[in-house]
Amino acid sequence: MSKPVLRRSLLLASAVMLAVMPTTSIARDPASSPGASGVGVISEKEAVARADRLLAQMTLEEKVGQISQRFDIASLFPTGASAPPGMPAMTPLDDNVRKAELGSLLFVHEPAVANKYQKIAVEQTRLKIPLLLGYDVIWGMRTMFPVPIGGAASFDPAGVEQARAIAASEARALGIHWTFAPMVDIARDPRWGRIVEGAGEDPYLGAAMAAAQVRGFQGDHIGAAGHIVAGPKHFVGYGASVGGRDYDSAYLSDSELYNVYLPPFAAAINAGAGNIMSAYMDLNDVPASANKRLLTDILRGDLGFKGWVVTDASAVHNLVKQGFAADGADASVRAITAGVDMEMSTAPNAFSTLVASVRAGKVPMKRIDEAVRRVLMVKYRLGLFENPYVDAAAAERITSDPAHAMAAQVAAERSLVLLKNDGNALPLVAGAQKRVAVIGAMADSPGDTTLSLAFPQDAVKAVTVFKGISERLSGIATVETTPGVQLSRLVPSPLAMLLGPVTPWTPAQAADELKKAVGLAARSDVVILTLGEKIEMSSEQASRSDLALPGDQRKLLDAVLATGKPVIVVLMNGRPLDLTGVYDKVPAILEAWYPGSRGGTAVARALFGDVNPGGKTPVTWPRSVGQVPTYYARNLSHDPDGAGRRYWDAPSTPLIPFGFGLSYTSFTIAPPTVDKAELAPGGKVVVSTMVTNTGARAGDEVVQLYIHQRAGRQSRPIRLLQGFRRVTLAPGESQQVSFTLDEANVRYWNSIERGWVIDPGTFDAWIGNSSLADAHTSFIVSGAPRAAH
């Protein structure tokens, strides 16, 4: 298949994925963007013309400087502080900027520091080119929202878009122009720590969340007021690392690459993403940051990406460590010629060797100009040449807007997933219990509720689960808390270093704290027990060999249960965990993820029935680590009836299926109907159902559509998500929900024919409230076997 056909196929597929997804917008403070100073929207054509005029004036050294980015480590720490052991030195970058050796910095987030660097760049360099300032604005800036896997659990792209729009407005007000987000890696192995940063296992859900986040961060064009450039990462396959070990190699067939791992990137690019970050790891034995097939043939040829590509941190230097490049100069040549446009570095930039490599004829000047042009274009489109500075007063007003905190609370409420609720143990009745215990390592830990490296002073203001419950029961019950256990990692992480040292408990302290927790439980009427992982146990360098609850949490649970008091579990975590000895012992489990600035308020409102949980699991939940990787979209195999007997020593079914979540009310979903029996070439089929709230409370249901191709030129997964919609219904209310399918929904990448194909035949369709949906219909795809155009 030709590259243009492939590109159209991928982009059309992502467009169809998003056709049923609503969008939303939020009012923007015009002071949060340089666009408010009178700079109009700059077209791509005008940006190219301006960039080319500037390129003609630049020396080779100035060009290489523009495609070099450096960490400003000092910006991560308070003034006068020293970097923790293991972190790069906090070397001032003033001279590097003054010498035009850098075109971009990352981690600058204070208006005064941003203005200082911009002043040097635009007043003390020959060509007065402003800096591009980037930051990890992943799930918030000053206002922190649920972590991305929690956002995905909402099955609410419009809500996630609004959250990212708020984060963008705060970041832009602080002088940040670009985020290294969203992370759109598909992750099917929960041992991988960075699963917390993505949307889980499913390419359809992942594509919807990727596009929503790009729209939220970036607006409808690069340079939109109050928005920043989105940088989806990590291209591509990073989430498939062997053994779930961060940074290890990944091995993907073309079928997996095109059908599973590329769709979220295609959706992000179709939504207008201006930047892409390459990945660290080897993909099929070639490092992703020097992989021409990935960065040029697929990213630009197949997906039609037009922005600039940045490496992950020090990935060019790493090409030597990976045994791929002979030395730093060779690494730079390989990266730039493969398709990298900008190097991100924590050390002296490897790209500085490009000056000599160009002069030696190893890199064409045309390739350097191409990379520089892309960087200059985004600076023009952002309006940085007209106004590179930050209004500090406006920044404080925007980042402290109380409406943002309320939006974070709503987002947290919508991300909650009710995993178990035997005997209607939830919701609790406020005031029915006069003494409430909130126990656990995360119960009153602000840093585990939210995390803001830019505003660590705001973390203490976060509403923890204990604080949220205390506020909810103020005046009607006594609420007490104690941790009971202490959690720590065997191997410290960079995040743990940034959060600061923690003094380990002695054995005597641990015994005393456990005793204290049991005593509190014994004198209470109900126990809210927070279990899970500390926040530094997720994200980068946070892979796990086991998914069991860390520390003595099982011991704590058993001791609290032995008091005979009712126990409700609230999970706080960034990945599915092994719930052996938990799931079967407690009546109710509420999944809260790391819920953000007002997460404790959201949890309390759900526990006491002020809101009705409506989220769904964005990942399949294994019973134990031995089932990993497990995901719903598996192939049938030659023994489909024996799928539940794959292991002889344990059930082969997951503990909790993908797309699952309970409610305080009940719903019925009627058998689906199709408006026509045949999906003809170029045609459409509408699959509809009626969902009814049959309970006594208002609530949300996520109606999900799955399809399966019965036969064709390649084995296809047992079912694939191809539509979802979250609906809110009052008691007794019904609503029709419809999904439109066309050829984009039934095409797939064929690994033998090496192209997108459509097979005629019978397709099953199920509608329900999880991947176990059983309300069934079918339709026929007509026509001859064909390539998808």
- Residues serving a catalytic function are 312
- Cβ count within 10 A of residue 611: 23
Q: Is 423 exposed, middle or buried (0-12, 13-18, 19+ CB in 10 A)?
A: exposed
Query: Which of 260, 124, 155 has its CA nearest to residue 613?
Result: 155
What own/partner pairs with CB < 8 Å and gap ≥ 24 does 120-123 have?
A: 120/94, 121/97, 121/388, 122/388
Name 71's bridge partners: 106
Note the residue count of the chain: 789
N-term to C-term CA, the chain: 9
Indicate if the alpha-carbon torsion angle 388, 392, 397, 398 is positive or negative.
positive
Q: How far apart are CA 277 and CA 294, in angstroms?
A: 12
Q: Is there a contact between 769 and 704 (Cβ–Cβ < 8 Å)?
A: yes
What are φ and ψ of residue 175, in 5° steps? 100, 5
CA distances (Å), origin 500, targets 84, 137, 414, 494, 542: 8, 21, 31, 10, 17
What are φ and ψ of residue 635, in 5° steps? -80, 160
What are φ and ψ of residue 113, in 5° steps? -70, -40
Q: How far apart are CA 453 and CA 335, in angstroms?
A: 30
Q: Is there a contact between 494 and 540 (Cβ–Cβ < 8 Å)?
A: yes
Q: How far apart are CA 671 and CA 688, in angstroms?
A: 9
Query: Which of 145, 183, 136 has its CA nearest to residue 164?
Result: 145
DSSP reduced 3-state for 341: coil
Q: Which residue has the tokens 């910006």?
A: 75
Name 589's bridge partners: 420, 569
How many helices (H) does the chain have, and how many strands (E)? 25, 28
Q: Per the structure block, which two tokens stand in for 430?
A: 């406020």
Burial annotation 728-745 (CB, 10 A radius, 16+ → b, else e): ebeeeeeeebbbebebbb
